[in-house]
Amino acid sequence: MRIAIILGTRPEIVKMSPVIRSCLARSVDFSIIHTGQHYSYEMDRIFFFELKLPDAAYNLEVGSGTHAAQTARMLTGLEQILLEDPHDVVLVQGDTNTVLAGALVAAKLGVPLGHVEAGLRSYDRSMPEEINRVVADHLSDLLFAPTETAASNLRKEGRPDPAIFVTGNTVVDAVFQNLSLAAGDETIFSRLGIEKGGYILVTAHRQENVDRRENLAGILKGIEHVANYFGVPVLYPIHPRTRKMVERFNLRVPDNLHLIEPLGYFDFLLLEASAQLVLTDSGGVQEECCILKTPCVTMRKNTERPETVAAGGNILAGTDPEAILSAARAMVLRPRTWENPFGDGRSGDRIVRHLQKKFA
């Protein structure tokens, strides 16, 4: 059995790392194909190095662009690779344009396709990610659903039950495996001049938030309210594109919001684990906070991770400033006793064992 593991963003590298480690442990033949969707492969090599993963066998270096242009470059490159270097099964993870392209190429070439983190739904088609994950799920032969909720979504859409396999979420494996690696260097706290538990962490990058002046202004005002109320440092590792949109919309950055450069994965994971509170619009951060028992407020009106809300580790606030403050106050008061809904940390190995059973 040969597995083509297609990825293109840093979250995909993180969430596929447990699958890659299981392949190595089980001597399963695989190739990593990196599309370069968010960054060049050269910029991502530090992630492979830190996570102790083998280098990608192929990199497409597609770079940024419109959804159509980016996906088209991926389709061309992935098709050529899989024709010249046949594999028995293709694995994709999540909901990016890389997932969409990988799914389309595998389906067109008749190569069995496995979707890791299948069945997530926000039911908001204005999100490009929702379209990507729905298409991937309906092209996949193997649907690795992280939870029973995700599996139920797939069944409601008519996906056959024998194709659905509830594995837990590889993010649990990744958080615990990688947090132990990150603990070897905790200098991020001294470098930023903060103490564990004495700060609030912010991430906001979603297109529907960053590209809309009203939403981005609401988020910044909400962060200001939260910073004033709690009186602790608020750290925002801001992406260059988000910074550009703040300037384009001529928005004021609150004085008590500390904009810092984007962080490496290990540094971010350490900050996440020790934060008093996290404000985010990221799906992956919602999951990680729930696992780490860090209170989380999601600055969106919906989420494809409803398990985090049901467990009690997350509140949806939208982008209204008063709603963000209200949710932050409520979340911090909650006891951190919720249960992790995403599995036991053995999802990567469960996926690889299932593939071995199917294709060996």
Catalytically active residues, by annotation: 205
Tokens of 15: 């969430």
Q: Rounded to an integer, what distance in angstroms lies between the CA atom of residue 70 and that of residue 283? A: 22
Give Cα separations from 357 to 16, 137, 140, 220 (angstroms): 19, 21, 17, 50
CA 282 to chain centre: 7
DSSP 252-279: PPPTTEEEEPPPPHHHHHHHHHH-SEEE
Give Cα separations from 173 to 29, 42, 135, 178, 297 (angstroms): 21, 25, 26, 8, 23
Give Cα separations from 55 to 31, 207, 258 (angstroms): 9, 30, 35
Q: Which of 288, 280, 287, 300 is nearest to 124 (CA)?
A: 300
Give Cα separations from 59 to 29, 112, 215, 295 (angstroms): 18, 21, 35, 37
Q: Rounded to an integer, what distance in angstroms lies between the CA atom of residue 29 and that of residue 359? A: 12
Max CA-CA distance within the chain?
59
